[in-house]
Structure 1
């Protein structure tokens, strides 16, 4: 029930509400880059590393770009492709320029994050004219759709589509971060709130829940975790369909009636170690049906093993 409160706390702590009101790009960029650093590793490890070593910032990257770095990859967003910087080996695709290159200077956890920071900076500078707030406003206004689901999908794609080409960010991380940003500044921009509430971030916990419960099978949408989760009939569409049948205001009167992002988050909380810690690989032997009899969903759950036994797999084949 505290879902919005948690988002509001994060938005205030990062200064996102003020930054959006003033169309101030740097604080938003700094928050995005920091948030991207949490992918692929536990929050605790990522947070400890950032507290010790810091993260990339708009001001530092902008200053380095004003000095006209010699590497041709840093000339523009379009030139940046195939940088291939590797922190461990200190190599890249332009080895003659690496000693003077500013990209490795932020002491980030790995070289992919350095590339992400510079790729996002160049995207905002070159495609959004340095105005991330204005770019989001324009992208959302340009989206069209005959029905609410079509409009939601068009608005999401208007944002996610271009940002998908920023190095090192997946649909999942984009959905999570943008949803928090869009929902966290809802007082000044209702359109942002409408878009953020419809964004769904499907991680392995959410996908595996839909598999174990038999929902994917019942919907005729059995698939492996990945891009198919966002394809027609995939996990995201199933969650949106469920959200259409739930009036979220009965759970919290300040919620919007239709709140797919909250429904997805509720599934995640059921599964996550940081939440109810029920439906996950730590509690369930993935080769067998779930045996957690005290789970509220036990009697209705399909309890389908996540991994088929080798004999079953051969039979299916």
Structure 2
């Protein structure tokens, strides 16, 4: 027997014990009703008991994307093979277990998970659920993240529940826009989806600390970096340690430092060495060989070569200039 349920502008159909969500009812002209794909994604997920749709994006005009906020019943079964990108946000903790013999019940915390085409979701829930789903067609995801949606993408969030406040905020913004009737049309929803997928891809690839690295270093991070480099000039400077100090990967550290100073890490360190050498040369207290070691150069000839390339004069000529200026200032003060 086939059962049809219509909730919040969406049909659900059940013919063999499981509800298929996101379908429309079509008259098959033979006196019966069949279930066929609707305008939104069909077969979004499959559950044994009919869920309650609290909110959907049906009629929003979004391109190849669909949002639903669903309240599931206790003692329910999900048995579904995903055919598109799915971001699932669990709004509340609940108890569940895999559909395996003698599987134990565990507590699933609130958070999000990602399912890709081909992933299976097979579990039983003992408590009621309240989840938000964002389904996006593969081509749309690939356009947004600018790479193929292949195996390995979003692996950090597949099969595990991860608490990401940013995702909570973006999904809440999507729900709010839909609840208000999308006053700006589909622009707000499309922008939020693009932001969400871009952010999620960046976190999955590089970690949360790298998301802010699209621009320059924060002033406090630059100050800490300068202090670290200056303290370590005469020792062993590590590029890994420099990146770790400001909480970035090597790739993002290079980009952020260049955006801040216009220099590569190597150029930045050399500039700090030259600045120290200039100060020590001007003081006229140490010989050039000692200054070279104190500034972290391999030897005096190395310092001379880099100094000339940077300052346009040799260290000896620079010392003469500085000594001459100092004497002129002393004479002028008499």
TM-score (norm 1): 0.21
More helix by share: 1
More strand by share: 2
Q: Which has the larger radius of gyration?
A: 2
